[in-house]
Each structure stands twice: as C-alpha cells, then as structure tokens.
Amino acid sequence: MLMGGGARTAYQAGVLRALAAMLRLQPGGERGFPFQVLVGTSAGALNAAWLASQAASGLAALDGLAPFWLGLHTEAVYRLRLPPWTRISRLLAAVRLWGQARRQGAILDTMPLVNTLHRAISLQGIDDALQAGALQALAVTASSYTTGVHWTFCHAAAGAAFAPWLRPGRRAEFQPLTIEHLMASSAIPFLFPATPLWVDGRREYFGDGAMRQISPLSPAVHLGADQVLVVGVGQPQRSGFAAGPQGGVPGMGAIAGHALASVFHDTLQADVEQVQRVTDTLRRLPPELAAGLPYRPVDVLTLQPTRSLDALALDHLHLLPAAAQRALGGLGALRRGGGPLASYLLFEPGFVQALVDLGEHDAYAHKAQLLAFAGGATA
C-alpha cells in the first residue's frame, strides 16, 4: 500500500529498490513479483500503477521505479502559466495566479503529467500482469468533489472472485483503470485541477484520494490481504517546521504544508492502530470463537521517513524552477518555513535522489522486519 504526498512519494522508490536487493540475496535468488495486491493513494497511485504495469518482470519492477522518478523534472509534471510581465513584481504574479485559481479551481496546469503518465505507464501491461497471475488486483483511491464519497477504483483479472463494497462515505467499483483515474487520485487540492470520471452513469469531479480517506487500509483488507506493507511519506513529528523563525507566526507556506500533511497522513496511523488492536484481539480468542466472527487477522508493517522531509526540501529549494519560485514567492508560500509546501512540488532530480537514498537507508534499517514480512530469512 503506497500512500501519497506529491514529490515526497519518490521515497517509496528507494524503499522498494532496497527490498528487491534484499530478496535477491535470499535462498532462491531472483523471484516473481512479491505483492499480490497493490493499493495506491494520490502520487502513491502513480507508483502502484507503474509497478502493476511492470509486475510481469518480477523484482525488476521494484528496481525500475527509482529510474522513473529520477528521470522526472518539474516541467514533466506541471507548469505555471505566467506571462512575462509578471516578472516585474511578485504581487503581479500572485494576482495572476489567484485569478487562474478562481477560473480553473487550481493554481497549476497538470497536462504535462498526463503526457508523462501516458508514456511511462502501460495500461496493457497492467492488464497482462493481471491476466497472467503476476498480480491479483490494483486499486487506486479518489475523492468525489461532487458527492463527497471516497471511491476505490479496482482493476482485477477477468473472473476474479472480488466484489465491490459500500460503506458509509466510501465505496468501491471494479473497472479497468485509466490515466484519468490516476490524475483524479493525485489531484492535490488547490494545486492540481479536479478530474472528471464516470460513476453510476454520470460524470463526477474527483480530487486527491487522500481527502476524506477515513480508512486507508480498507481497500487492501477488502481485496483479501492478510499482510499489508504500507510505505508512507508522512511524519507525525514534523521537527517544528510549521512555525516561523524562533517559533514565530507561521508563514503561508508553513500553513499550506501543514494542511497538506493533515490531508495526506492524519488517518493512516489511527487506522493501523485499529487493525492491530483487532488482530491482537482475534489471536487472543479461542480459535472456534474467532472463526465465527466477521473479521480476520491482518499483519501491518509501516515504513515512513526517519528524516524530516520538510528540512530536506529546504536544502533543495533552489532547484524549484524560476517560475514556480516567483509564483509561490508572490503568494508568500516560500517565506517563514516554506519547506513543507515545497516538498510536495520539488519534482527535481536532486531532491528525488535524496528521497530515494533516504528510502533505501530506512529500508535497510528495517531489513529483518521486511524479510520476515516477505517470508525470507532474516540473516
């Protein structure tokens, strides 16, 4: 299960590359794709879809995600439409962006990401992997601005024994996934525009799958998982970067970053704790009693960054393209703690490399747990 977080999600590529290297050193060496179900939210949905499209290649799919990320630049993900005259003043840039946001519902134009995903992700490859049994299901989440319902869109092999689900405020539907589903799942509120999808015979507009995601683990559990590896990019302890200098009033960038952190990460830990409590309770019950309950044990292993990604983004802030720096600066989003917001938008190789390296480091720090989880030896 791959959680979202804009550019921060490159961290997952490092974790998975390290996992592939660990598994190759275990008895049996090269092996097939190690996951039966992939669930992605927001930019995590892009990673999940990319992995699904390459699942037939086995562990090589885990290796390939990092080069995909390292090949990105900001102009391959989004662009800012600012006329040359806005260079005169940050205030003029801010006024222009505000007008654009009012007209389009978002500050950034994400057509470059559409083109990037069409080139990078083979939808036929996803279907081939499902039909060949390399993967059982791929699911991505999105939130409907039209109805407020949180949707999980699932793609499974023809004839698979999965059923859609309906719960208060959230539901699932099985249908072939498209680039539009990925754009909807990764549409960061205010920054990326809403994406229309057809559900229940009508068109609804969708935004980031992290919004209104009250039960992030639910899709994996509904799709039959009894073990879930969650790779997130959130940090409950954020090292004080939401505050201004010397603990002063936080700036626009700090507030925006804090709001996005709340959208992307606040529900995950609570859901993990709940699943762990239920699992622990079931294992303490007599087997005959546990067998009669509509629940099953689910083991969850969660990996998240051990270093502040806000601080890491501040170290690489200079890599933001000039137009983005001018625009965000005009909105006051890069002053007094602008690292949190920038960390979602820094799709530049220098920052991506630092994230991938951190992901590999953190994975090796949890080598024993990862190999035990994957069924390998811990030596």
Give catalytic residue positions. 42, 208
End-to-end CA distance of the chain: 26
**How many Å apart are CA 131 and CA 52, to the nearest integer?**
12
Report the candidate in 275, 274, 276, 293 with the shortest Cα–Cα distance to residue 285.
Answer: 293
Give Dmax (Cα) for the chain: 74
Which tokens go with 72? 């990105």
Tokens of 347: 């799709």
**What residues contact residue 59 under an 8 Å CB cut-off, 6+ apart?**
20, 23, 24, 30, 31, 32, 33, 34
Rounded CA-CA distance 129/155 in Å is 11
Q: Within 198-251, where are the H helices?
A: 218-222
Three-state DSSP at 163 gives coil
Tell me which H or E stretch contains 29. none
Q: Which residues contact 251 (CB under 8 A, 6 or more apart)?
A: 244, 332, 333, 335, 336, 337, 338
Cα dist. 192→70, 78, 284 in Å? 22, 8, 46
Helical spans, DSSP H, in the chain: 10-24, 43-54, 60-70, 90-104, 111-120, 123-132, 179-185, 218-222, 252-284, 287-291, 309-315, 322-330, 339-345, 349-365, 367-373
Residues 6+ apart with CB under 8 A from 38: 1, 2, 48, 51, 52, 135, 137, 138, 139
